[in-house]
Amino acid sequence: MTSKLDQLKQYTIVVADTGDLDAIGRLKPVDATTNPSLLLKAATLPRYTSYLKEAMSRAQGDIDLACDLFAVSVGQEILKLIPGRISTEVDARLSFDTNATRQRAERLIGFYEQAGIGRDRVLIKIASTWEGIRAAEQLEKSGIQTNLTLLFSFSQAIACADAGAYLISPFVGRIYDWYKKSEGRDYAGAEDPGVKSVARIYHYYKAHDYRTVVMGASFRNLGQIEALAGCDRLTISPELLSQLNTEQGALQRNLSPGEPSEPRVSLNESTFRWRMNEDAMATEKLAEGIRQFAHDQEKLEILLKGCI
């Protein structure tokens, strides 16, 4: 019998959630994603030391520029191993500044283009704040496609699709973490709050013909992945990908277009912010995620400064 990973690839585009080149080469995903935490982890590996030094040399002391150059260098290496796209993230500290987010995204794309890599192979990751969604809307209109990340609520998903975002990354595991702690109980399979969130978004998008791609992210266990087999894409850590690659047994498709969904709605800024305010989980996890990515960005800056 084929592995569960091979079966999953029949229903879903598999994306590697890592900057580990060895893991990507071994597991052969279609796409790959990085974020400040993954770039920080990659920066501690000996094989990336030369990239850190080169980034600092090219940036001539501009640490923000050095971080972007390093991120693009890692992205370039990953693209040599995959047939699809790399997602590269804008500095999380810009999450509440539409213009700064757009400008940073344009700079990242510019670096890829200077390296001979077309826009069709890159997604710019942006936090799903109201300001980030507006930046994504502007970028999409200019031909730069986006991956809206740190997405925890249905309201965020609606706003991202209405803005024309190419792809969203709802965070299954972090939603699960919040409810497990809040409710004092565990969840499995289709009852998992993170799984329910992605399934709801998936069916809403398909019912209303949104072109925005749904990519489940941040998994804690194989059960969450299996419950979302059939989702457009799933971005999975090397550890869980390896487990799927060794697991045997039948894997059924659990998400398909055509399921009933709720009526289409649209949100203005005040409605979006109110609905987020009413969703304690989404508000807390979004803020926490931005803080964590910002802290890891700062740690990466310290590593880069050590290369001077």
- Cα(252)–Cα(11) distance, rounded to whole angstroms? 9
In the chain, the percentage of residues whose pLDDT exceeds 70 is 99
Question: For domain 7-305, which architecture applies?
Answer: Alpha-Beta Barrel (3.20)
Q: Give the pLDDT score at 31.
A: 96
More confident of the two residues 166 and 307: 166
Annotated catalytic sites, by residue? 125
Taking CA atoms, 292 is separated from 96, 287, 297, in Å, by 15, 9, 9
Domain ranges of the chain: 7-305
Residue 230 per-residue DSSP state: T
Predicted confidence (pLDDT) at residue 291 exceeds the cutoff of 90: yes
Q: Write down the pTM of the prediction.
A: 0.95
Q: Give the pLDDT score at 20.
A: 86
Q: What are phi and psi of 124, to 5 degrees?
A: -95, 120
Q: Shortest CA distance to 226 belongs to which of 208, 207, 252?
A: 252
With the C-alpha atoms ordered 122, 127, 128, 134, is the resulting torsion angle positive or negative?
A: negative
Task: Report the half-sphere exposure of 138 (CA within 13 A, side-chain side).
Answer: 15
Predicted confidence (pLDDT) at residue 7 exceeds the cutoff of 90: yes
- Cα(167)–Cα(189) distance, rounded to whole angstroms? 24
- Cα(302)–Cα(214) distance, rounded to whole angstroms? 34
Predicted confidence (pLDDT) at residue 147 exceeds the cutoff of 90: yes
In the chain, the percentage of residues whose pLDDT exceeds 90 is 90
**Average pLDDT over every residue of 273-277:** 98
**Average pLDDT over every residue of 197-206:** 98
Predicted confidence (pLDDT) at residue 281 exceeds the cutoff of 80: yes
Q: Give the pLDDT score at 308.
A: 62
- Alpha-helical (H) ranges within 3-114 are 4-11, 21-27, 36-43, 49-59, 63-79, 98-114
Neighbours of 302 (CB within 10 A): 11
